[in-house]
Every structure is written in structure tokens, then in C-alpha cells.
Structure 1
Amino acid sequence: MFVPRPHLCTLLRREQRRLQLLCAPPGFGKTQLLRHYLEPATNVVWLTLGGQPQTLQTCSAKLAEALGLSLQSSPEALLAWIERAGTLHLVFDDVPASMPAELNLWFDRLLALANPRLQVLVTCRRRPDWNLARLVLMGQLLELDARQLALRREESDALVSLLAPDSDTIIRQQLWQATAGWCAGLRLLLPAFVTQTYRPEQPHAVLVQYLERELLARLTEDQQQVLFGLAHLSKASAELCEQLWEGQGGARVFTQLNDCQALLIPLEHQPQWSCLIPAVAQALQERLPAAPLNRLRLRACQALSALGHLDDAIEQALRAEQPEVAASYMEGLWLTWILREQHLGRLMTWRERMAPHLLESSPRLIYLSAKALLFSGRLDEAQACLQQLSRFLPLPNPRRNQRLLANWQALFGTLHALRGDSEQARLHCQAACRHLNREDWLSILLCHCMLARDAMHRGELTEAQALLEQSLELARRQGSREAEVLVNSDRARLMMLQGHAHQAQSLLHSELEHMAGTRTVACPLRGRLLLQQAELSVQQGRLGEAEQRVHEGLVQVGDCCAPFVLSAYLLLAQIAAHGQAFDQAQLHLDEAERRMHWARIDRACYQRPIAEHRQRVQRLEREASAQRPESRSSVPDYQDGLTPREVSVLKLLAEGMSVREVGSRLFISVNTVKTHAKNINVKLGACRRTQAINSAKAMGILA
């Protein structure tokens, strides 16, 4: 099954070059793309080489047969015939990784023929050893690699919709993150995701078989060993590989793996660095035995630290069971690091794997832990962590002592704000700002943001705007994109309060566009922006769009950012209540409370907003009940014997939801939804879903 790639077909048609070269790993849809592109074309000659070794004679014989010429035609005669042929599209599908010199020379002569209507189209897994530089200079080469051929997010979702129409948003996001646009991986893993049998910690049998045949069989033993090691690294470069496998020529092997398209993908914004597609890495991890794996991790944490990649070094040190080494590396993390991607979740995971005394061994580690706990909503633990700073007081240097106290006040102000004590929060943040200096710019920024939120709560919008403008300038002068996103999130909130919904929407859209570079990486800040977009959509009555944004945001924020998770479920409850699905709204609030308990979140962070939303849902339900026509007031709500849950299921099915989406919305299994649907059909005397929906509408069960 092929998903149309109109942007690629348009590119191929627009750029009519002598050579159109599609060079990418197996499973990126190279062959299918060319077939789709050439469908309307005439005079197409297709030669499948299957990646198998070729000589000039064997290749010439295959081409002669495809052209309908004598099998005894010499290579020179073929070139002469092609030069006179006029319009001709020659396709060489799956060209082998290496070819003899005389065959490469023949291809160079083919590409240099005078026939202006000759086009050569090639798919391969390794860039051929032809005179491509000459074609580039002449403007006669169009080359597409894995970056261009990878599925876009919307194309990935479209393929999932074709293959598994009942798949929900979460499955689509998980597949996208696991496969990074790799078409073959998506198709191989989709059944396991749909049946919920995929386990990242276990190799997927079908995927392993595919990799054995399409990748490992083409690699040397040295290349395989390095590849198995790369499966345990979040990223790699030639320089890193040289240090890890210096006796085996690690840099050379890494370059070979990239050249032969071993499913390594370049990292956004990190030149020279690549990583294995996540699903491929997971499938290969068991190939490296325990002893060499542990040695690799110890070398990796040292090398990564030396290269400045501390978060990866920390992870390798912990996996090598060296928590003291991990703690020493954590000292070098910038405090803005916690705002990026899923770093908050990573830090909270590290905390679970390290002894408390290691995380309390310096003021810097205490600051880092306290910020993580505050952002995660674990306020009591954050307070206990902050109290550990007293062990370092007083410092012998008065200036450093004052800075330590000021940073403590900044964090303590944040703690009071999250507990709802705005007066104490304001006092601590204002006092902290008087003594913090440029080195503490992040603490200043957080204080300003807290003070701005307090001002918005009090209705002092002019004061809030001034504070946020100062914060924005500070973030920009420090060159921190993450801090700028954090401030702009609050600015969008202020615009909404000022009644400037269009400006808020434009700002949120702009920030999401800027963050599009890390498209396969989940990011809580992106999740926060998506949830704000959802809130705007609710205000404007676009409930379907709002619900989609909420689910996208939930995938981004993960489990550690409790305040964002809470906002998501409160929005889902609000959307359900607007649609008069009041029992469903209450279920969302129940789930919000469950998630807060599960994450050990302080009651102050969630109790009041959940209670307020429950009251709002109940009020809306009473108002809706009062507005029902009196003629129906004497008739039971479920006059046809449908239970309240069956009515909820029927309403969602009537909205066009799939069985899986209904289950996800109501927090019940797919089988339970199917059972409810079967009971509904029996009770309403229907054979199909559409009949049940029409009957329910006629009976007044559905509006």
C-alpha cells in the first residue's frame, strides 16, 4: 500500500535532470516513489538489479533484453542506440553498493550522452562511484537521500489510517517517534502497536528478520560489531567512534556504515552526529554481550563527557552502574538544560537511580533537583531538597553567600506560588531579584514569570506585560531558545486575558513552527503550547480541533510534567461538558486525579482546579437537564434499556470515532467497547452501527 508523495513527485517533475538519484537505506519507498512518478510517462525501461554484484557484460545483457535488443549487443552498441533513441526514461533499480571500474566508466559514458531527452533514474543504498561532481557542475543531478525520502508526520499518519483505521493519536505518535519516518519500520511495527504487544525492551521478531536480510547480511563483521554498539548510544560521530573502537578504526567503520546507509539518521542541529532509528536500535541491542557492553559504556561516558555531551555521558555512567561518576558529570549541566525536550523526565528518572546524598553533594545539584521537583509538582520533596542548602551556609565569601540565599529565595518563591500562597511568593521573588546577578539570569527570569502570573491573577495586566517583556529580553540576550518559549507561553496567556485571541494564536503558531526542527522528539514545552492552542480553540467553539490538540499535547508532555498533564485533562473535561457528555467529563476529571496521585503530586497543585471543574460540569448538567422539553421529562433517559455507559459509547460512535478512540476517551479496553456496541445493536434491534445511531436519534436518545 503506497501513500502518495505529491511534494516529491512534484520535485522530480520540476527538476528534469539527466540523473535523478534516490540514495537511502532499505525501506524508504524509493522504488514505489519512482513507479508513482513514472506512471503517466511513456518510453520507460525498468531494470531491476536487486543490489546484486554486476559486471559490464551481465548488466549490458539485462539492459539489452529490457530494450528489446539482441542479447549479444555490445556495451558500445547499447550506448549508440540510446543516444539515437529520443525520449527515454532508463530506471536502474537497487544498484549494488560497489561495481567494477569498467561498469562505473560505462555509466559515466551513459550519463554524458548527447541525447537531450534521455533521463536516468537510479535507486541505491550507497552513492555510486560515478563522476557525480561533473553532473553537479552542469546542473544535471537531482539527489534525494533519507532526509527527503522519510515520511512526513502527516504522511506517516495517513499510512497508519490506511492500514489500521482504528488507531488512535497516541499509537500514531509512538510509531512516528519509533520509526522517524522510516516507511518499512512503520509497516512492520504497526500490528504490534495496534494489538499493544510491542515492547521496546524486547526485540521485535519480524523487524529483526528484516534487518538480518536487508542490512546485516551486507555488512562485514567489524561493521556489525560497531553497529551493535551504536544501538546502545543515543548518538554517535566519527570522532566518538574512533575513541570507542580505536583498535578497529572506529571512525573509518562509522563512515562506512553511513555510506552504506545502515539506517543511521543525522541529528537535527548537530552536524557530524547521527543515531540509529530508535526501533532499529531497540531491535539490535541484545546482539552485544554484557561484558563488552559494560566496557563500551565506561569508555562512552568518558568520551562523551570530554566532547561536552554531558547528559549522554550521565546516562552511560548510570547504565554502567557508576552513579558517583554520573553525579560528577551532572555538576556541569546548565540549569536551562532542564527546559529542553524530555530532559525533565530524564532527570527525574536519574533521581530514582541515584542515592540522595549524591544529589545533595553541592548547591548546584540541589538547585537542579529542586527545579525538577518544582516543575514536576512534587512540592514537599522540593522543599525538603531546598532545606539541604542550609548545610552550605554560611559560605566564607559574602558575595557567594548572598547569591546562594538569593537563589534559594527564588526557588522558595516558586514553591509558594505553586502552593497558592501568592503573597509569600511575591515577597520571596522580589527579594531574590534584588540580589541576583547576571550569572543567575535563569533565576531572575523564573522570578519575573512567577510575578507576572501573579499580576495576571490579580488583574494587573500592565504590570504583567512589563515583567514579561523584561523576561523576553533577558532570555534573548542569553541566547536561550527554551527560556524564550517559556516566556512566550506566558505572553500568549496574557494576550488571551487582554482579549487578543488572534495575536495569541499567531504567537503560539510561530513558536510551534520554530520548534518543528525536533519533530521526532517529545518536548514538554511544545506540549504546553499545544494545550494553549487547544484552550483557544475551546473558547472559539472549535471543539474537535481542541480535542486533537490536547491529545497531541499529552503525547509531548509525557508523565513527568504534572501541571501540563493536569491542564490537558481539565481541557478534555471542559470539551466533553460543552458537548453535554457529562459522565465522560467526570471520567476525565477522575483520570486527572489518578494521574496526580500516581505521580505523587502535592494536593495544592490539583485539588482546587479539579474541584472547580467538577462543580462547573455539575452546573452545566443541571442547566442542560432544565432545558429539556417537558414532553420528555416523564420518559426515562434510558427508555430502551441502554445503560448510561452504553449511551456514552453510542454518542461517541455517532460522532464518527473509531472503536479504539472511544476506548481511549472512556478509559476502557477495545473489547469492552465492542461488547457495548454489540449490546446496543441487540437492544435497538439494529444490525449495523449506522442503524443503531439512526434508531437512537429517532427515539430521542441522541440529539
Structure 2
Amino acid sequence: MTAMTPCLDRPGFLPRLSSHHLPRTRLSEPLLASPARVKLLCAPAGSGKSALLAECLLQAPAQYRVVWLALSGVALSRAELCLRLAQALQLPAVDEPALLAHLARVQAPTWLFVDDYCRVPAPELDGLLDQLLAVSNPLITWWLSGRRRPHCNWPRLLLDDELHEFEGRTLALTAAEIEQLLRHFEAPLVAKTARRIFQRSDGWCAAVRIALLDGCQWAKDPNHPGRTATLLDYLQHELFASLPAELAEAWQVLAHLPRFNASLCEHLFGAGEGACWMHELQLRGCFIEDWQASPDWLQVFAPLRQLMRDEPWPAGRSWHRRACQWFCAEEDWQAAFEQALLAEEFEVAISLLQHFSLEHVFLGQNVVWLLRLHEQQGDELMLGSPHLVGLVTAALLFAGRFDQAASCIAQLERFAPQPTATQQRQLLARWQAQMGWLLHLQGRMTPAREHFLQALDALAAEAWPARLLCLSGLTQQALLNAELETAQALNREALCLARAQNSLLFEGLLELDHAQLLEQRGAAGRAESLLANIHELLSQQLDPATPLLGRIALRRGRLALSQGQDERAAGFFDSGLYECLRSQDKRVLYGFLGQAQLAANQGDYDQAFIRLRDAERLMQQRQIPDTVYRGVLLQVSSQFWLQQGRPELAHEALSRVLRHYRGPNARQAPPATLELIARIEYLLVLAQVHLGRKPHVQIDELLCHARDHGMANLETELQLVQVELAWLAGDETTAREGWQKARELIARWHLQQALTEVTLRQPERVRQVSDGPSKLPLSHQMSDVSPLSSRELEVLELIAQGNSNQQIAEQLYISLHTVKTHARRIHGKLGVARRTQAVARAKSLGIVG
């Protein structure tokens, strides 16, 4: 509800906006501009309905009469509503016919605001409202807000173009609007805090406001529980206090379920009552919404669902047990497994795992639950079949627990020999596939490769998930060996198999390999477009592949960072870090590394090293082998030390870590850091030169190798290092020639981060070569080589002319979906989020006129 105050230029009491009110012009402007006679805001409590109406009222033209009627959600009789309306209109007491007649005769433009309409089903009251709205006096505009949608003839109003409606999701604050509310925060914290508030609140106005009152502690601190007593009190007064006891209990049960429908509610609450209670909660606007845009399933609003799950619930086990029974009967094994765990029926949960495939490991929180079950129930229950061994091993490898994974894989020998020679061969092939991945992640390339190849020879067609993982492992090894053509062939074969099996999840895993390949070749824009597309497809799945989405976000963050899109990269690193922390993914390391790199780009080395220490601490807490993280942490630390002018620290660290990757017992680099060894080598050369020592590696040789193998990223970095070495040697001619080549590579591949890093090491030198009269800014240099394909240029030209997506599709004779795909790729390559930004960016680069 909005506070009331006397208004100097209008009669009576009118709403007063809070001093913390944020104008939402994206909502108020369309409402004010709409010619519709009826403006309806229907949303749950705390959605900002009253504030939005007040914002519109205060912009009413001076000659308009405005009337504000605050109903406070109470259930009135028809006579009481007539009386309240008559008083607001300054009429004597009138009956319904007289009121309707008066409204029909109104001669002055009038805005009639009815705020917080009756919250409970009231057929008679709704009937009167329907009659009032049917009075088609064009001088009266109705502005209605409420938690439920009154039972009126809305279809007729829609057909007559007389209804403009906003629902709850539309009213939510955006991340950008939350940033505006954080103006008092320190600048570096604003964007990150806003993203976290949005992530936890879904933009729900009440939750955002309470977060601000709480000082945003849970948004700034990942270890904060993420809730406050204020939010619980708000929910108690705004929801539970108005519900009958049985509905309040039913809502609490539903809040603990991932999704529900009428049949499940009948099972839980009793035949004849369950579905009625569910519909009653819907009608009352109790934060119930569609689940995954499904016509059959519903869910409680996610932030409140999380809030309720964080609270003690003594009766929870019995309700979860009953839900598990229903999901089992429906053969929904994923939901049944989750409910069995929440009911603490661990043996039932383990028995349900027989219905899981390898794909299930990467859904939701299954990795975390599998790890927890393994810790709590031990090998005897969790490793009772080869299938269970495979599931647990996959979870352990994903989390980086290699020693436990090795022990788990060894359990397969308990199931040998199998009854037939064929089954025995398949058991051995499974062992080889799992052992291949363990060795691969440990950096032992040669034996891993042998296991992958032997497993591929033996695995049957129905064991396609294991075949896909072997192909992925071989792809990553080819990338590490700079065999890009081989990697592409292996990746293509694997993708074809995943698509033939209609496995979108495995397709997503393989597209991560594909993106790494494209990144190596300098096609960061294509890699971003590819990952954006697969992220969109995976997000539309009924059961989200949360761990995979986290990895995709981190890779997209790296791509954005490489192209100089630091703000965009920060968003990806933040969301990827959040998801990877939740799923215990060892790749969470790269979220910390990305944030450290962003801090260093701003010259904040204190924060950069804090993030590196946070990463190391987490790896050690989770007992992840140092082969996973030690090398890359020292490489990034050394990069920062060189930027700070501390080559002695870099030299010591890099010399030590390089011995790990060179020599007879050398390990391969972690699969996520393909350029790690080359970067260690060139950073060590820089450190040696700074210290006046003779380098042990020739940059020319590394540069030729990168160029010969089509490694555009690495070639660009090495070209800049060669320039830097020429500067240090005083060889201006070589430096000038090399700088021109480097600029061309940076412009061609959009590798702005490579330029940023050399600028941080040699700021004066870069400034000197960039300030000359013949030196064009980088943005102008890029215009010589367009990052867009010919078709994307056609689409962009039509966008610049103001055409809609549908108009572009018709002019180019392509589908609307194809236009949207081209637009998304254009945004990714240009590093923008909207059409207008894309046009402006393209014009600045000289791509379009």
C-alpha cells in the first residue's frame, strides 16, 4: 500500500511515493500512452502495484480529474463498494443504477484509481465491477490493481482494445534498476551486488527493498544465509495472516516441492480437496506461477521457495515421503529421487538411481546429492552395481575428487567375471572409459589416450554416453597438442552421435569443447554465439542442467574478457561462479581467476590476489589435487607480478611450475587451460629478460608453432611479447614492425585483453606508439576486417534501417528464428546487448554507414 497525503493542487488525499521510490518509466510510459479505458495490474503482494499507479497518477494532465480509492484488499459488499465510489467521486449516497448513470454522464476527463482490490474470491463484487467497467464512457479511465484477477468480461475488453494489463513478472525490477537503487554503494560493488540481489529476488520489489534495508549483506557475502527476519515477517503478515489454516499449511507444503499439479495436490491433501486448495491459492495471488512455461505444472515463486526451504520444517519428512510415492507412480525418477532424499529415505533414493542415466548426473543438484550419499552411506550401499559405480565416479571426477574416484573405479573388479564374454568385454570397456578420464584429468595423457581408444573399440552402441565421453577426452587432448584439425573431426563425430541420440545435455558438453576450438582459432564471436544458443536451449529444458550452465557461463565470461568486454564478462563470471559453487564443480576455479583478471585490469591488485587466495583456499578445502589448480594459479599470479614490476617473484614461481610440465614425467595442462604451458614459457622469458638473464626459450619458435597450427589467440599474445622484448632490448625497428603486425591481429580477432595485458606491463611504451599522428584508435583499425559474416551484415543493415525481425525475415526469405539467431550472433560479436547498441557500435567501427 502507498502512503496518503493531502495534495496542494488537487482535492482530497492522494498517494505519496516513498523517498526511496525508483521511477519505472519502462512501465509507466506505456501505461500513460495506452488509449485503453482499463489499465489492470494483477500481481502478488510486494510487486510495486500501488507505487506504479501512484507514479502514473502524479503524471496526470492538469485538466484531468483524478480519484484514488484505496480498498486495502478487503471483501466489500456491492452496496459498500457503491458507497465508497460515491464518496470518492463526491456524490451523495447513491444506489447502483444511479452510480452507473452518473459514470455514463461524466463530461470531464477522469482517471479513477482502484488500488488493492478485494483479495479473496467475491463473485457478487466482481459482478458489480464488471458492470462499472462496461460503462463505455471514453472520458473515464479505470486504473485497477489487485493480487487476484477479478472475474470480469476481460475477453470483451481485449477484443475491443480497451484493456492494458501488466502481470507480476512484468512488474519485477530489472538488474539495471536495482543498480540505480545502489547509488550509495562503492562503484566496484554496485554491479556485482545488483546481480546477486536480482539472482536471489527475481526482481520482486519487496525482496529488493528488504535487501536494501538489510544493507545487502547476503548479496555482498556469499556465505550469508540470504534471508532476514524482516522478509519472514512480511510474508507472515501479507500472506499467511489472510489464509485459512489449511490453505496456509498447503502453501507451505507446495513451497517445498519443485513443482506440482492438481493430481499431485489431490494425492497430498485428499481427493476432492487438493485441487480445490491449489486453485484457491492461485486465485488469491499467493505467489503461484507456471513452471517452465508448462500448461500443466505450477510452482511457488522461486525466492519464496528458497526462503521456506531455509526454515526448519519438522513435518517435512512425511510430506516429502508422500510426494515421492506419487512421483514414483508417475515414473518421474528425478523428482522421486529428490523427494526421497528430502524425506531422508536414503535406501529408497539409492534404489531409484537404477533408473538414472549418465546424463542425470549433470541435472540440478544431482552431483551434490550423489557425493553426499556416497559420504554418508559408504561403498556398500552406493556401489552395489556397475551402473551405480559409473554414476558415483562421474560425480567424483566432476568435483575433482580424484583419489576417491580411483577407489570407486577399482570397485568394478567386484563384478567380474560377468556371466558372458560379451558382458565381460562391456564391463572392461566401462572401466577403461572411466580410468581414461581419471588419467586425463590427472594430466597423464599417454595412458589416458590408450584407455580412450581401447574403450571406443569395445563399447557397444547402447553405451553411447561412454563413447561420447571418450571422444570428448580425445578432443581435449588434441586441443592440448595443438592438433586443431584432429580436434575438430573428433568433436564433429561426437556431436553427430549426441544429436542422433537426441541428447541436448551431452550436446552442451561437447559444444564447450567446440567453443574452445573456436577460441583457439580466434573466432571468439562464433564461440559466444554457439554457447549463447546452447545455453538458451538448455535453459528451456524442464530439468535444468545447472552444472553445465555454470560451465557455459564461465566460458562465455572468458570469451567476453578476451574481447575487452569487461562488464559483460563480470556478469558471466559472477553467475558461473555461483552455479559452480552450488554444484561443487572443480571448474569454479575459473570463476575466481576471471574475477581476479578483471580486478587487475582496473589496477586493483589487492583484490586480484584476494580472489586468487579465495580460489586456492576453496580447492584445498574440497581436497582437490593441486595438479588441477596450482599451475594456473601461479601463472596468473606471475602475470600480475610482472605487471607490478616484480619479475623476481614471477621468475621463481614460473621456473618451479614449468618443471612440472617439462621432462620425462611431464603432465599435460588441465583441459580448461589450453595455452597454460606456452603462457608459462613466455612469461618466464619476460621475467628472465627483466632480470638481465638469458632466456631458455625462443619466442620466435613459440610464435612459429602457434602460427603454423592456426592458434590465433596464442599467436597474438606471442606477437605482443615479441614487441615487448624488442622494447626492452632497445630495438625500435623490430618493435615498430611487430607492433603493426600485433595491431592487425588484435583487430582481426578482437583480442583486446591481449593488448590490455601488455599495456599493464608497458603502459608508457603502449601510450607512445598509440599517440602518434599516424596511429588510428583500435576501433577504427577494426573496421578494415569486419567480424560479421555477409549474411549478418545484411541483417544488421536492415536493423539499422528500423526493420522488425519479422520484416527482416520477409525481405531476406528466411525464418524468424534464423533472424533472431543472426541478431544474437551480431550482439555477441559486437559485445552489445540491444539492437540500438549494435547499430551504434557497428557505425563506430565503420561496418555500416
> Which residue identity does 1:207 align to in structure 2?
L
CA distance in 2, matches of 1:11, 1:188: 28
What residue identity is the alignment partner of 1:451?
L
Aligned to 1:324: 347
CA distance in 2, matches of 1:153, 1:442: 39
Q: For residues 185 and 572 of structure 1, do their structure 2 counterparts lie closer, same or farther at Cα, with a shift above 3 Å needed?
A: closer
Work out whether residues 204 and 283 of structure 1, in 8 Å CA contact, stay in contact via their aligned partners in 2: no
Give the 3 Å change call, closer, same or farther, for CA 47–510 of structure 1 in structure 2.
Answer: same
1:265 maps to 289
1:18 to 37, 41, 48: 37
Residue 424, structure 1, aligned to residue 472, structure 2: no
Q: 1:536 aligns with which of 550, 559, 565?
A: 559
- Select which of 185, 188, 199 maps to 2:207: 185
Q: Is the 8 A contact 2:558 2:594 kept in 1?
A: yes
Paired residue type of 2:148: R
Q: State the match for 1:79 in structure 2.
A: 100
Give the SS at the match of 2:526. helix
CA contact (8 A) 1:177 1:521 kept: no
The question of whether the paired residues in 1 share the 8 Å contact of 2:70 and 2:114 is answered with yes
CA distance in 2, matches of 1:193, 1:324: 44
Letter in 2 for 1:25: P
Would the aligned equivalents of 1:228 and 1:287 in 2 still touch at CA under 8 Å? Answer: no
After TM superposition, the structure 1 stretch with the greater mean CA deviation from structure 2, 439-448 or 374-383, is 439-448
d(CA) in 2 for partners of 1:199, 1:505 = 31
Q: What does residue range 237-252 of structure 1 map to in structure 2 within 5 Å? A: 237-246=261-270, 249-252=273-276
Shift of 1:513: 4.5
Aligned equivalent of 1:280: 304
Quote how far apart the aligned CAs of 1:134 are: 3.1
Residue pair 2:120, 2:284 contacting (<8 A) in 1 also: no
Report the alpha carbon displacement of residue 213 of structure 1 after superposing the two structures with TM: 1.9
CA contact (8 A) 1:562 1:599 kept: no
The corresponding residue for 2:746 is none
1:582 CA displacement: 5.1
- The Cα of 1:159 is off from its aligned counterpart by 3.9
CA distance in 1, matches of 2:584, 2:242: 44
Match of 1:688 in 2: none
Cα deviations across residues 427-468 of structure 1 (Å, max 9, x unaligned)? 211222223344322222222221111111111111111121
1:112 aligns with 2:134: yes
Task: Give the TM-score, by structure 2 length.
Answer: 0.67
Query: Partner residue of 2:327?
Result: 304
Root-mean-square deviation (CA, aligned residues, Å) is 3.4
2:174 matches 1:152: yes
* CA 1:274–1:170: 2 relative to 1, 3 Å: farther
1:605 aligned to 2:624?
no
Kept in 2, the 8 Å contact 1:348–1:372? The answer is yes
1:26-60 superposed Cα distances (whole Å, 9 cap, x missing partner): 11111122223344333332211111121222222
Compared with structure 1, are the counterparts of its residues 255 and 484 closer, same or farther at alpha carbon in structure 2 (3 Å cutoff)?
Answer: same
The 10-residue stretch of structure 1 (253-262 or 144-153) with the greater mean CA deviation from structure 2? 144-153
1:325 deviates by: 0.6
Amino acid at match of 2:619: M
Q: Provide the C-alpha distance between the structure 1 equivalents of 2:429 and 2:188, rounded to a whole number of angstroms.
A: 54
State the partner residue of 1:351. 374
For residue 405 of structure 2, what is the aligned residue in structure 1? 382
TM-fit CA distance, 1:490: 1.6
Q: Does 1:31 align with 2:50?
A: yes
Cα distance in structure 2, aligned partners of 1:382 and 1:27? 48
CA distance in 1, matches of 2:161, 2:423: 62
How far residue 384 of structure 1 moved from its aligned partner, in angstroms, is 0.9
Distance change (3 Å), C-alpha of 1:438 and 1:136: farther
Identity %: 33
Structure 2 counterpart of 1:263, one-letter code: F
Aligned to 1:683: none
Query: Does the Cα contact within 8 Å between 1:410 and 1:432 map onto a contact in 2?
Result: yes
SS of the aligned residue for 1:222 comes to helix
Name the aligned partner's letter for residue 37 of structure 1: C
- 1:45 maps to 67
- Inter-partner Cα distance in structure 1 for 2:176 and 2:561: 23
Alpha carbons 1:47, 1:63 under 8 Å: kept: yes
Distance 1:374 1:282, change over 3 A: closer
Q: Of residues 67, 91, 100 in structure 1, which corresponds to 2:113?
A: 91
CA distance in 2, matches of 1:492, 1:541: 18
User: What letter matches 1:115 in structure 2?
Assistant: N
SS in 1 for 2:355: coil
Change (3 A) 1:337 1:12: farther
Question: CA offsets, 1:485-542, max 9 Å, x none?
Answer: 2222221211111122232233234344445659998933333233223323443344
Shift of 1:321: 2.8
The range that moved more, 58-67 or 250-259, is: 58-67
Distance 1:610 1:397, change over 3 A: same
CA offsets per residue over residues 216-268 of structure 1, 9 Å max, x none?
12211210121222233233222211111116711211121112111223322
Compared CA separation, residues 345 and 5, structure 1 to 2 (3 A): farther
Aligned length: 628
The separation in 1 between residues aligned to 2:571 and 2:309, in whole angstroms, is 35
Whether the 8 Å CA contact 1:177–1:278 is kept in 2: the answer is no
Q: What's the offset of the Cα at 1:100? A: 5.7
Gaps of 5+ in 2: 1-19, 649-689, 691-723, 725-759, 761-849
Q: 1:513 to 1:584 in 2, by over 3 A?
A: same
> Which one of 492, 503, 511 corresponds to residue 488 of structure 1?
511
Residue 623 of structure 1 deviates from its aligned partner by: 7.0
Give 1:298 deviation, angstroms.
Answer: 1.8
Find out whether 1:293 has 2:316 as its counterpart: yes
2:751 matched residue in structure 1: none
Mapped contact 2:43–2:285 kept (Cα < 8 A): yes
Q: 1:579 to 1:479 in 2, by over 3 A?
A: same
- Taking the aligned partners of 1:493 and 1:287, their CA distance within structure 2 comes to 42
Task: Say whether the 8 Å CA contact 1:171–1:193 is kept in structure 2.
Answer: no
1:56 pairs, out of 54, 78, 95, with: 78
Counterpart selection for 2:491 from 468, 471, 484 = 468
One-letter code of the match for 1:568? G
State the secondary structure of the residue aligned to 1:426.
helix
Determine the C-alpha separation between the residues in 2 that align with 1:283 and 1:581: 35
Which stretch of the first structure deviates more once superposed, 571-580 or 422-431?
Answer: 571-580
Alpha-carbon distance in 1 for matches of 2:617, 2:583? 14
Distance 1:460 1:98 in 2: 67
**Residue aligned with 1:355, SS:** helix
> Does structure 1 residue 219 correspond to structure 2 residue 243?
yes
Are the structure 2 counterparts of residues 110 and 4 from structure 1 closer, same or farther at C-alpha, using a change threshold of 3 Å? same
User: Deviation of residue 185 (structure 1)?
Assistant: 2.1
2: distance between equivalents of 1:129 and 1:99? 9
Is the Cα–Cα contact under 8 Å of residues 547 and 583 in structure 2 kept in the other structure?
no
- The one of 122, 143, 165 equivalent to 2:165 is 143
Q: Answer whether contact 2:512 2:531 (CA < 8 A) is retained.
A: yes
Q: Aligned partners of 1:233 and 1:108: how far apart in 2?
A: 36
Q: TM-score, normalised by structure 1?
A: 0.80
Considering Cα pairs closer than 8 Å and 6+ residues apart, tell me whether 1 or 2 has the greater RCO.
Answer: 1
The answer to which of 97-106 and 529-538 deviates more is 97-106
Partner of 1:2 in structure 2? 21
Change (3 A) 1:598 1:522: farther
The CA distance in 2 between the partners of 1:622 and 1:235, in whole Å, is 56
Q: Report how far residue 62 of structure 1 moved.
A: 2.0
Amino acid at match of 2:68: W
Output the CA distance in 2 between the equivalents of 1:502 and 1:280.
38
Query: Aligned equivalents of 1:136 and 1:2: distance in 2?
Result: 31
Q: Which residue of 1 aligns with 2:705?
A: none
Is the counterpart of residue 594 in structure 1 residue 617 in structure 2?
Answer: yes
Instruction: Quote the Cα distance in structure 2 between the aligned partners of 1:547 and 1:163.
Output: 17
